[in-house]
A and B are shown apart, each in its own frame.
Chain A
């Protein structure tokens, strides 16, 4: 240990002297300056030990203890934590909730809706495209025209639907484009049929437009499906009402049933149920429209 180190660590040396006096003595014997410093520091510490220590007034201690007891009585730690949940935690929970909501949306954009009688109708873009396929009365594929064939080729070249884990995240822009394309299909003029294949959304629109001839067939097919659903609805209702005399329908169900009867040509039953539905504020407008349609038919 040189003089500089001795100076720096003189306080440690004083402490060390209590347990290793010979070692410290040896260090100090090498340098008289270090010994002087050591002695001065030690003397000062001895003097400092004489610093008088005073006690705080007991009334202040009592005040402090009273405050400590009050704090515990007033605010338990758990309650305080709940009340003081930090804003960032609340924000994180909100973000998480939104994230779960977004994640729970089906990967291919399926939108499941339930009609009034509980029949689930699932509309997807894939279904929509599939509906464009020319299908004959028995279900076999109809040979399409050259435009249709081209549309089929484009259709087949589309990327298969990937499972959620593999599918890239859909940006809001992409969603909007797909929505626009879908709307375009419904309203696009025929001259767009030969649109070049560029972006997937455009090709999708082109596919659908090229198959505009298929729309009518698809519509018929959809009507068939709707008729089928209606038949099931009516049959289900009649079955239930036979089993249970007290079986009652809510206004939405009444409206749906009235529409189905109207579709099946049973105007009397249709009017009965639509009038019942029109008696409710919730379905009044729609039932009224359906009744008007019935009257015009």
Chain B
């Protein structure tokens, strides 16, 4: 017997079945969190966004009429939250690092102890996975979101197009550009990658 579809689970939750929601959460928790993590580039903020997205799903589940797939709906909410978050971050970044704070002789830039990547990231750096994660995070926003939805969640190009609000061909192009960038950025690790998964290069 096949697993119930996401939409059926949401309808069941609307009808009052908590277990249906648990199943949905279980299906999407990991890919959604990683989509947010790579978009926000900060684990704490990603956790906040992750919780916020699910809260919105809970609040608005009665608005879901099944016109689109649940995954499309979920990622539309998640993407909107990411866009809001990035706007907020961009606004904060505009605060001058050279200006001294009231009551302090040091500028913000001088007071921040470690302006580089967090310690845990530094510890991971050098490993293949850390390099790939970094390369993904450095992708331009519009390429990164397409790449993550496709690669992490496995959404179809058409679904991604609905979420992002562009044509499926544009989505394909963005995915291609993202892969080209990754390929270029990780060229020095090519041998390493081949060692990890040699069977994928047989064609």
Contacts and interface: CB of A to CB of B under 8 A. Distances in A.
A and B: real partners?
A: yes
A47 B132 contact: yes
A76 interface: yes
A56 B58 contact: no
A208 B126 CA distance: 108
A47 B189 contact: yes
Contacts of A77: 14-16, 62
A51 B132 contact: yes
B29 interface: yes
Contact of A47 (B13, B14, B15, B183): B183
A51 B133 contact: yes
Nearest to B147: A48
B193 A46 contact: yes
Contacts of A248: none
B172 interface: yes
A50 B183 contact: no
Interface residues of B, number: 53
B201 A51 contact: no
B25 interface: yes
Contact of B33 (A49, A56, A72): A56
B99 interface: no
Mostly helix, strand, loop or mixed at chain B's interface? helix
Contact of A11 (B31, B38, B176): B176
A53 interface: yes
Contacts of A11: 157, 172, 175-176
B47 A57 contact: yes
A60 interface: yes
Contacts of B190: 43, 47
B57 to A, nearest CB: 9
Contacts, number: 128
Contacts of B132: 47-48, 50-52
B105 to A, nearest CB: 39
B45 interface: no
Contacts of B201: 42-43, 46
Nearest to B136: A51
Contacts of A48: 132, 136, 147, 151, 179, 182
A10 B193 contact: no
Contacts of A42: 200-201, 203
A8 interface: yes
A288 B96 CA distance: 92
A55 B33 contact: yes
A10 B62 CA distance: 40
B30 interface: yes
B18 A68 contact: yes
A45 B186 CA distance: 11
B129 A51 contact: yes
A153 interface: no
Contacts of B31: 53
B189 A67 contact: no
B15 A10 contact: no
A154 interface: no
Contacts of A50: 128-129, 132, 193, 196
Interface of A: 7-11, 17, 21, 24-25, 40-57, 60-61, 63-65, 67-69, 71-72, 76-77, 80-81
Interface of B: 13-16, 18, 21-22, 25, 29-31, 33-34, 37-38, 43, 47, 50-51, 54-55, 58-59, 62, 128-130, 132-133, 136, 147, 151-152, 157, 169, 172-173, 175-176, 179-180, 182-183, 186, 189-190, 193-194, 196-197, 200-201, 203
9 contacts: A44-B179, A50-B132, A51-B136, A56-B30, A65-B18, A67-B55, A67-B58, A68-B58, A72-B18
